[in-house]
Amino acid sequence: MSQESEVREIMQRIYYTSFLTPVGRIYLATTEKGICLLSWGYRSGKDFVREVRNHKSEVRTIVKDDSHLTGIKRDIKRYFSGKPVSFKKYALDLKGTNFQKKVWYVLSTIPYGKVLTYKQVSERIGMPEAARAVGGACGANDLPIIIPCHRVIASNGGLGGFSGGLKIKKHLLKLEGIKLKKNLKKP
């Protein structure tokens, strides 16, 4: 194997780990470029690996390796203990459109314990009529918690959607001390 093909092989490798949290087992994956996927709800590591293969078709090797993700794993556990954590120090390997990346950038600026509406996010990216598209970008976010899409709610005070389910969204908002209205409505 030439040195160039060996480097290409390493660049097409994903490392992953999993650990228990109050919302279930979280699976976390990274490429050489940065963290690329955070997810939960899988029955096994095999199911997660299958998802990674579907998501990152260029990847040849997926390796379970806790050592590549110790810092982020520690910070996520700290987050679940109710402490504000900044994930800005971690390199991310985001896969999305330019629009989605603009939305995700705005989401990453929402402080712990605060929320924005889909409309406010659309205004911050300079597209005030794109609130529904912002919802779609939130749903396409592969790094919930790290890019806190759970901190975006509907203008009427409803939760809106969340790819991890509304039960988890409520849990994350409550964890951050965000008071929810008693009768939240879906938009």
Asked if the structure places residue 87 within a domain, the reply is no
Task: Looking at the structure, tell me whether residues 51 and 113 fall in a common domain.
Answer: no
Distance of CA 176 to the CA centre of its chain: 16
Helices assigned H by DSSP within the chain: 3-11, 45-55, 70-80, 98-108, 118-124, 131-139, 166-175
User: Of 29, 149, 152, 173, which one is the catalytic site residue?
Assistant: 149
pLDDT band at 105 (very low <50, low <70, confident <90, very high): very high
pLDDT in tens, 112-166: 999 999 999 999 999 999 999 999 999 999 999 999 999 999 998 888 888 888 9
Residue 171 maps to which CATH number?
Answer: 1.10.10.10
Q: Which pLDDT score is estimated for 135?
A: 96
10/6 Cα distance (integer angstroms)? 6
115/87 Cα distance (integer angstroms)? 17
Domain end among 80, 108, 135: 80
Domain end among 18, 46, 80: 80
42/77 Cα distance (integer angstroms)? 19
pLDDT beyond 70 at 2 = no
Q: Give the domain range for residue 104.
A: 98-175
Task: Looking at the structure, tell me whether residues 36 and 67 fall in a common domain.
Answer: yes
Domain end among 80, 112, 142: 80
Residue 149 is among the residues annotated as catalytic for this protein = yes
Residue 20 maps to which CATH number?
Answer: 3.30.160.70
51/49 Cα distance (integer angstroms)? 5
Taken in order 61, 63, 68, 73, the sign of the CA dihedral is: positive
Task: Looking at the structure, tell me whether residues 44 and 107 fall in a common domain.
Answer: no
Task: Looking at the structure, tell me whether residues 59 and 106 fall in a common domain.
Answer: no
For residue 28, give every residue at least 6 positions away whose Cβ sits within 8 Å of its Cβ, in sequence order, or none.
16, 17, 18, 19, 35, 37, 38, 69, 72, 73, 76
Q: Which pLDDT score is estimated for 174?
A: 94
Could you please report the per-residue DSSP string of 122-136? HHHTT-TT-HHHHHH
Q: Which pLDDT score is estimated for 59?
A: 67
How many structural domains comprise the chain?
Answer: 2
pLDDT in tens, 38-70: 998 887 788 888 888 877 667 668 889 988 899
Q: Which pLDDT score is estimated for 181?
A: 66
